[in-house]
Each structure stands twice: as C-alpha cells, then as structure tokens.
C-alpha cells in the first residue's frame, strides 16, 4: 500500500493541495498512547503514540509533509525516518513497522480530509455520496458489504463511516448527481445499513463503536477542519465564530500533575499603561507594546518551543478597556510563563473541536497581585489574554487542565 498510496494522492505528479493544507495545519502534541486522542482531535494535532519530545514530532511531521508534497515512496520515507529519530527515539515495535504505520495513517487521513472538503463543496450539484471498497489485500467483510451504498451527503451514517474506517483501510467515497444516479440504476439514495454497536475499551474508558469500524476511527477526517474559524488579516485563525460554551476534552489538571494550588508571585516585568478611551485605543496600545502590527513570540516551555503570533488588530479589537492597562505585562508572560498547558475543547452546540494552549503566571504590579492567562490556538495565534486579581485563583485552577507541557 505504501508506494501506491503516495502515487494515489498525486495526479500527474501534481500534489493534492487539500491534503497538504490539512496536514500542515496540525500542531505537534505530546502523547503517551494512541488513546490519548479521539476522533476529531486528530484533525488538530500530530501525535506519535508514546512520543513526548517536540524535536522528534516536528522532524517526523516534516517527513510526512514532504511525502505529501513530493510523493515520497514508503521505502524512502522509512530510510529518512530512521535517520531522523537516530539517538532520539527507539520504537519498541521496530522502526520499519512503526514508520509504515505513521506513513500510511497520516497520508491516508490527510488525503481523505482533503477529499472531504472537495465533496462538501459539491453538495448542491452532487448531493449523493457512494461508498467504495478500496481493494485491500485483506478485505474486511463489513467494508465489502458497504461497497456501492449511496446516501445523501448529510446522512448521519456517513459521519461515523467516512473513510478510512480503520488501520490500513483504503476505502473511499465519491459524489454523484442525478444523471450519475440514473446511470447507476438508482432512483434515490439507499437506506443506510443498520448500525450494530459493540462496546470496547478505549484507553481508560468504554466506548460504543459501530461494527466494522476500528476503535478511534468512527469519525470523518476533515469534517472538524471545515469548521475552522475565519482568518485574521495575518492569514491566521481568530476567535471569530468560536462562540458558545466550550467543554474540556483532555484529561489531567494541576492536581493530577502534583502542581501547587497557589502560584508563586513574581515581580512584574512591565508597567501599567493608561486606560484607552475606546477599542481603537486598545489596538493602538497593543501596537505600542508589540512595536508594530504583529509580533511572533517564541514561548520557551522546557523541551518545547511554541511560536505564538500576537496580532494587534485581531486580539486588541475584543479586549475590554480595563484589561488594556495590563498589556505591558503580556510580553513577559509569553517569554517566561510559570506553566504551559495544552488541551482540546469542544463547543457544545456545533461540536467543533479546537486545540488550545494556556500560559499562566502570577505577578505583582502597582501594589496588586494579578493572575495572568494567555490562550493560543493550534495555528499558533494568541486569541485571548486575561488578567484577574490573584484572589480569584480558584477560577484559574479550573483552567489548569489538560497536558502539562511545561512547569517551573
């Protein structure tokens, strides 16, 4: 499947940009096991089960991206993979097996996500989607039984059966219009197959999985990607459209990591600024702090370095006037946080899943003890900045959850 797969995503040696865009937008994320992430979380993060080192993740992600762009065959990818991880990581299953799984899984899901966006753009003219078995060397009986089933694009069955549907699955979907349906001898969509659910263990929880779907694969790669918020002037996602109640999905918090309940208070590095008269004044204040319209900060987080773009217009336009007084403290928070957390959140109305990281710190300035919180998204954009009296530490502790990437 390896060499064939790399060729499949290129037509006439032209890379599939949809697959490249999807994969390139992922953020490296440390993980202990495959079950740390579930479903749409994989649209946002690049993980290798058991790998927590950023350099290993970024190097391997770069190799996969090159494969998507240049059509690197599996054999060459495996050689490059072995060189990239030498002295950094020793896969227990062996480099050949592990590199093949990483290659096939990531290239296949990236291609499928790009294809999902294409299919969604055609729903008005081609509203019918047909499941095709991918002629795997070892066909799954259930996947074979779904071959040729045609449903409307918005049928719920597709959301749990959009391909791939498991490790090594090569099945795919195509779109049809009314003429295509007549040629197939169909007067309308088929009835979806009955969902026979089975209960399986996934990490530390029991989940319901449709029969024929591998645990962790019952979702549509790219479906969550298509819900990404609008872009800022810098070409980066902003908070716009990210409204409603957000619930954390990633387990872990300050207690489970044995972190202190009360944060030590540092002397503030930065000064209080005059209160602006309006939102335009907030933007102007932030431009003054940044030294321009935009600045990229390199957040040093132990073994991790997280780039964060601060855009004066997109961040400053939604900040309260009172909070602008403390913007002079923002650069130091980004350059010297006390803790850095990463985790997934889901909007309860739309189901949108986002990956965010939070930086926290306590400082004393102007005779006041403050709690500083900065929140960035998976595209590396600072989308929220908060400052609270330290007496509200309980509220902050409710936000200290997810994966602890760094803590001093």
Q: What is the pTM of this model?
A: 0.79
- What pLDDT is attached to residue 230? 42
10 CA to centre of own chain: 24
- pLDDT level of residue 367 (50, 70, 90 thresholds): confident
Interatomic CA distance for residues 172 and 394, integer angstroms: 49
Interatomic CA distance for residues 299 and 297, integer angstroms: 6
- What pLDDT is attached to residue 226? 60
Contacts for 90 with CB less than 8 Å, ≥ 6 apart:
none
- What pLDDT is attached to residue 192? 94
What's the whole-number average pLDDT of the chain? 85
Q: Who has greater pLDDT, 336 or 37?
A: 336
Interatomic CA distance for residues 156 and 171, integer angstroms: 18
Q: With contact defined as beta carbons under 8 Å apart, do 233 and 312 qualify?
A: no
pLDDT at residue 209 is higher than 90: no
- What pLDDT is attached to residue 240? 44
Task: Express as a percent the part of the chain with pLDDT over 70.
Answer: 90
Interatomic CA distance for residues 387 and 374, integer angstroms: 9
Q: What is the pLDDT of residues 48-75, one digit of tens each?
A: 988 888 899 999 999 999 999 998 999 9
- pLDDT level of residue 244 (50, 70, 90 thresholds): low
Residues shown for the chain: 408
- pLDDT level of residue 233 (50, 70, 90 thresholds): very low
- What pLDDT is attached to residue 229? 47
Tokens 């900060």 belong to: 297
Interatomic CA distance for residues 237 and 359, integer angstroms: 19
- What pLDDT is attached to residue 14? 62
Q: What is the mean pLDDT of residues 167-189?
A: 94
The 3-state secondary structure of 70-95, one letter per residue: HCCCHHHHHHHHHHHHCCCCCCCCCH
- What pLDDT is attached to residue 124? 95
Q: What is the pLDDT of residues 2-22, one digit of tens each?
A: 333 433 444 335 679 999 989
- What pLDDT is attached to residue 144? 94
Interatomic CA distance for residues 382 and 364, integer angstroms: 23
Would you state the structure tokens that stand for residue 192, as one six-digit string?
Answer: 């979806």
pLDDT at residue 79 is higher than 90: yes
Q: What is the pLDDT of residues 252-289, one digit of tens each?
A: 899 999 999 888 888 888 888 888 888 898 899 999 99
- pLDDT level of residue 394 (50, 70, 90 thresholds): low
């Amino acid at each position: 499947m390896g060499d064939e797969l790399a060729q499949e995503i290129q037509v006439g040696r032209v890379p599939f940009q949809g697959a490249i865009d999807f994969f390139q937008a992922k953020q490296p994320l440390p993980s202990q096991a495959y079950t740390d992430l579930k479903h749409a979380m994989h649209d946002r993060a690049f993980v290798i089960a058991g790998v927590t080192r950023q350099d290993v993740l970024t190097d391997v992600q770069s190799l996969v991206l090159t494969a998507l762009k240049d059509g690197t065959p599996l054999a060459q990818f495996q050689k490059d993979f072995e060189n990239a991880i030498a002295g950094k990581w020793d896969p227990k299953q062996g480099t050949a097996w592990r590199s093949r799984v990483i290659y096939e899984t990531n290239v296949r899901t990236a291609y499928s996500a790009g294809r999902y966006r294409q299919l969604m753009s055609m729903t008005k003219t081609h509203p019918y989607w047909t499941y095709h078995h991918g002629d795997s060397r070892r066909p799954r009986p259930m996947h074979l039984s779904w071959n040729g089933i045609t449903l409307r694009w918005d049928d719920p069955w597709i959301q749990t059966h959009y391909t791939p549907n498991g490790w090594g699955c090569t099945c795919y979907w195509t779109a049809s219009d009314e003429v295509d349906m007549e040629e197939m001898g169909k007067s309308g969509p088929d009835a979806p197959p009955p969902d026979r659910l089975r209960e399986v263990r996934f990490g530390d929880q029991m989940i319901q999985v449709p029969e024929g779907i591998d645990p962790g694969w019952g979702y549509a790669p790219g479906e969550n990607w298509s819900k990404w918020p609008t872009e800022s002037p810098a070409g980066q996602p902003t908070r716009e459209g990210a409204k409603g109640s957000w619930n954390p999905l990633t387990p872990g918090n300050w207690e489970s990591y044995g972190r202190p309940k009360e944060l030590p208070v540092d002397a503030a590095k930065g000064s209080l600024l005059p209160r602006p008269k309006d939102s335009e004044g907030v933007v102007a204040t932030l431009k003054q702090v940044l030294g321009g319209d935009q600045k990229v900060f390199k957040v040093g987080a132990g073994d991790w370095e997280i780039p964060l773009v601060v855009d004066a217009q997109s961040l400053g336009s939604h900040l309260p006037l009172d909070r602008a007084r403390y913007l002079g403290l923002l650069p130091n928070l980004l350059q010297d946080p006390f803790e850095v957390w990463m985790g997934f959140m889901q909007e309860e109305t739309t189901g949108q899943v986002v990956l965010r990281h939070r930086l926290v710190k306590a400082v004393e300035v102007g005779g006041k003890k403050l709690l500083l919180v900065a929140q960035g998204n998976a595209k590396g954009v600072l989308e929220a900045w908060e400052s609270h009296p330290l007496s509200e530490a309980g509220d902050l502790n409710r936000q200290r959850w997810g994966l602890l990437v760094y803590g001093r």
